[in-house]
A and B are shown apart, each in its own frame.
Chain A
Amino acid sequence: MHKVVITGVGIISVLGNTVDAVSSSLYNGQSGIIVDDQRVELGFNCPLTGVIKDFDPKARLTRKQKKTMTDHAIQAHAATMDALEMSGLQPEDWQNDQTGLIFGCDSSSIAAIEQVRLLKERGDTGLIGSGAVFRSMTSNVTMNLNTLLKTRGAAWSISSACSSGGHAVGQAFTLIAAGQQDRVICGGAQEINWESMCSFDGLGAFASNTDAPTKACRPFDKNRNGLVPSGGAAAIVLERYDHAKARGAQILGEVCGYGFSSDGELLSNPSTTGLSMAGAKALKRAEIIPKDIDYVCAHATSTPAGDIAEAVNLKTLFEGCSPAISSTKSMTGHELWMSGASQVVYSTIMARDGFIAPNINLETLTPEAEGLHITPFTIERAPHSVLCNSAGFGGTNSCLVLRY
C-alpha cells in the first residue's frame, strides 16, 4: 500500500475565501452565520444561514464556462485552483489518467427549479437553455472540473448526505493507497440558497435561537437547539508520497486512515454505535490506537440528538481518555455535503498554523458529553494526529485519520 499525503488545500468558506483568511477566523473563533432577510419574509422557522462574502464568480471563468456550472461548482473550481497552486503541480502533471477528481455533493436544487419555470414560461423544452441539464446534476462539480482541468482518471461525485465530503476524501485516499491513482483532487461542495433548504427547515431541525446569529450554533452545549445550514466548497490535493517527495513538494500532512460504516437503523437519527465503528476501522487502517489521537474535528452539528449520539460514540472509541475535541460547525454552521472535506482543510490549516480551533458557544456542556475534552477556547499547539468525523442522513459514517 502506498503512503498518501496532502500537498495542497483550498477553500471557499463562510469563514473566508483564502486559507489565510480562514485560518484567522478559526483561530479567533469568528462565526460566519447571519440572518437571511429573504428567509424571514418566506416564513422559515430558522432564517439563519452561513454566508460567503466577497467571492467573485467571474474572476476565473468565462460566461460560457459558467453556463454549465452551479454556484457551488464555481466555488469548487476556485478552491481547486487554489489547492493546485499550493501543491505546485502544473497542468502537465495532472492531465493524465493517473489523476482523478472525487467530490462529495448530494443536491443541485436551483437548476431543477429554474428549468421547470422556464418550460412553463416559454412552452418549449428547446428554450430552457443548454446549461440546465448539467447544472441540475449532483455530479455537476466533477463533470465541470474534469472538462476544465482535463484530468483523465477518476471523475465522479459521491452522494451520501452530510458525509459525502468525508467519503470523497476517503475514496481518494483508498485509490491512491491501492496504486489505482497517483493523485486525486478531492473535496466537497454545498449550495447555499433558500430553495435547497426550505423543506429541511420544515423538519424543525434548525436552530431556533435567532436573536444572536453568531451564538445560534452551539455543538455539545446543553442549550443547543438545532443546526444552521451553510456551505461553500473545499478542495484537497492528495498524492502518492513517493511522487510528491520526488518532485520536492511541500508535504502538508498525511491521510493515513479511512473507515466507514452505516447505522442500519433510522433515517434521520444517528445511532450510538455506527460512528465509533467507522472510527475504529480508520484507526486500525492507520495502525494507531485511540490515545495516539490528539484532536478530533467532530461532526457535531448542534442538534439535540446528533450531538448526544456523537458524544456516546466518542466515549466508546476513546474508552475513558479524551483528545481535544471541537466542532468547527460552531463557527461555520453545517456545511452539509461539503463538511467532511472542509474538516480536512480546517485541520490542515490548524496544523500548518499551530493551533486547535475552538468549539465556540460552548457555555454549559451537555451532560452526555461529560468526560470529553471539548474545548471552547483556542489551544495554542498544532494537532499531530487527527480524527475527522462525519455522518449523514440514513446513518452513513465516514472517519478519516490525518497525521501532521
Chain B
Amino acid sequence: MTDPEVIQHVNDLLAEEFELTFDQMRPEALFKEDLELDSLDAVDMVIILEQAFKFKIKKNEAFKRIRSLNDLHKFVLEKKKEL
C-alpha cells in the first residue's frame, strides 16, 4: 500500500465509523474542534486502526498527542514503517 493509499484508507475508516464527509476531512481538520470527536471516539479510533493495520496503539504517547487529521496520517505512516 502506497502512502496516499494508506491516507485514503484511514479517511475511509474514519468516514465510516464517525459518519464524516470527505469535505470535512481536510488534513488540517482538528478532531475535537472541527470533527467534533471526543475521548470516547478516540477509544473506537484505536480499535478500527489496530484492526485495519495490525499494529498496537494502546498506551502510545505519540497517539495521545494527535490533534489533527494530518497528525493521524503521519502517525499511521510511521507505525506502518515500524512493522
Contact = CB atoms under 8 A, between A and B. Distances in A.
Interface string B36-59: 000011011011001000000010
A124 B58 CA distance: 10
A43 interface: no
Interface in A101-154: 124, 126-127, 129-131
Contacts of B43: 126, 129-130
A64 B18 contact: yes
A67 interface: yes
Nearest to B51: A127
Contact of B46 (A62, A67, A126): A126
A247 interface: no
Contacts of A126: 43, 46-47, 58
B19 interface: yes
Contacts of A63: 17-19
B63 to A, nearest CB: 12
A127 B44 CA distance: 8
Nearest to B20: A64
Contacts of B50: 127
A127 B47 CA distance: 6
B29 to A, nearest CB: 16
Tier of interface size on chain B: 10 to 19
A131 B17 CA distance: 13
Interface string A59-71: 0001110011000
Contacts of B17: 63
A64 B41 contact: yes
Contacts of A64: 18-19, 41
Nearest to B59: A126
Nearest to B37: A64
A130 B41 contact: yes
A67 B50 CA distance: 19
Nearest to B17: A63
Find the residue from A124, A129, A130 having the highest chain B CB count within 10 A: A130
Given A124-B58, A126-B58, A127-B50, A62 B19 contact: yes
A360 to B, nearest CB: 43
A45 to B, nearest CB: 39
Nearest to A134: B40
B40 A130 contact: yes
Nearest to A67: B44
A62 B36 CA distance: 13
A147 to B, nearest CB: 12
Contacts of A127: 46-47, 50
A132 B41 CA distance: 13
B50 to A, nearest CB: 7
A184 B19 CA distance: 32
A64 B17 CA distance: 8
9 contacts: A63-B18, A68-B40, A126-B46, A126-B47, A127-B50, A130-B40, A130-B43, A131-B40, A131-B44
Interface of B: 17-19, 40-41, 43-44, 46-47, 50, 58
Ranked 3 nearest A-B pairs via Cβ: A130-B40, A130-B43, A63-B19
